[in-house]
Amino acid sequence: MVAATAREDRLNRACVRHHGNAVLVFAVGGGQVSGIFDAAYADPLGMENTRPRLLCAAADVPSGAVGQTASIGAEAFTVRAIEPDGTGMAALILERV
Amino acid sequence: MADHLHKQIRAALVVRLTGLTTSGARVYANRLYPMDSASLPGLRLYADSESAEVVTVHGPAVLERALDIAVEACAQASSALDDTLDLMSKEVETALAGGITVAGRNLMPTYTGMSYQDEAADKPVGVKRMTFSLTFAAAANAPDTLL
């Protein structure tokens, strides 16, 4: 089981290393999380919008991340939720500041 | 021939609701496509449904019609979204309490309730849907003429 978890972790980190396109930098403490950022189009309740999120290794998410302000490049976001996928990855749900 | 009374009523509602403090000119009747950021905060209005009852014994029948109207206050904001929607609904309810003018006559929409929805996104969005009932009469063979 431990070996399987370690393999999963290596695979997740390789995925982030090869496909990662963003680094989320937290305003307080300066912690960083690398991951795959996307902001797909959505029109909740009939209004044009996007759903920005960062897919990253769950182990890289600092404790107390929810509610923190963080930036990707010049764009600032608030981390609104963490959605672990059960395989060692997690999606940070972001809201533009 | 005049437009169907439904169209006249929708147009009168747009006139009445255009220029409110928060939504300004962003008033849309029967909007099909999503609102972009330039359309927000804005109002969407719909003639949702109608019931009718015959109130005469001779033909052509005169129908008393009760039209259900929905006015949706729509906004997008990172904070105080509910406050913005409450303000918009205050403006809408106040405006419609003065009635609307259809074919030179004043019709009074009656407020019947509201529902609220919000959803997280890049910027959270919310809709406060107010419903009104509007009663009027027209001959069965002349749905374009108010009686």
Distance from C-alpha of B105 to C-alpha of B100, rounded to nearest angstrom: 8
- What value, to the nearest 5°, has the Cα angle with vertex A13 and ends A10 and A17? 135
φ, ψ for residue B93, nearest 5 deg: -60, -40
The whole-number pLDDT of residue A2 equals: 65
Gap between the Cα atoms of A92 and B38, Å rounded: 28
Confidence at A29, pLDDT banded by 50, 70, 90: confident
Each residue's pLDDT tens digit, A46-81: 999 999 999 999 999 998 999 999 999 999 999 999
CB of B119 within 8 Å of a chain A CB? The answer is yes
Contact assignment for A45 to B78 by CB distance below 8 Å: no
Reading chain B (147 residues) residue by residue, the pLDDT tens digits are: 799 999 999 999 999 999 999 999 999 998 889 999 999 999 999 999 999 999 999 888 999 999 999 999 999 998 899 999 999 999 999 999 999 999 999 999 999 999 999 999 999 999 999 999 999 999 999 999 999
A96 with B122: Cβ contact below 8 A: yes
Cβ-in-10-Å burial (0-12, 13-18, 19+) of B141 comes to exposed
- C-beta neighbour count of B120 within 10 angstroms: 14
Tokens 């005469």 sit on residue: B56
Partner-chain residue, chosen from A49, A81, A97, that has the shortest CB–CB distance to B121: A49
Residue B37 touches partner A, C-beta closer than 8 Å: yes
Given a cut of 90, is residue A45 above it in pLDDT? yes
Distance set, CA B55 to CA B60, B63, B134, B137 (Å)? 11, 6, 17, 9
Please count the residue pairs, one from chain A and one from chain B, whose beta carbons lie less than 8 angstroms apart: 55
HEC assignment per residue over chain B: CCCCHHHHHHHHHHHHHCCECCCECCEEECCCCCECHHHCCEEEEEEEEEEEEECCCCCCCEEEEEEEEEEEEEEECCCCHHHHHHHHHHHHHHHHCCCEEECCEEECCEEEEEEEEEECCCCCEEEEEEEEEEEEEEECCCCCCCC
Question: For all residues of chain A together, what is the average pLDDT?
Answer: 92
Higher-confidence position of A9 and A34? A34
**Residue of A37, A41, A49, A78 to mutate, testing the B interface (most B Cβ within 10 Å of its Cβ):** A49
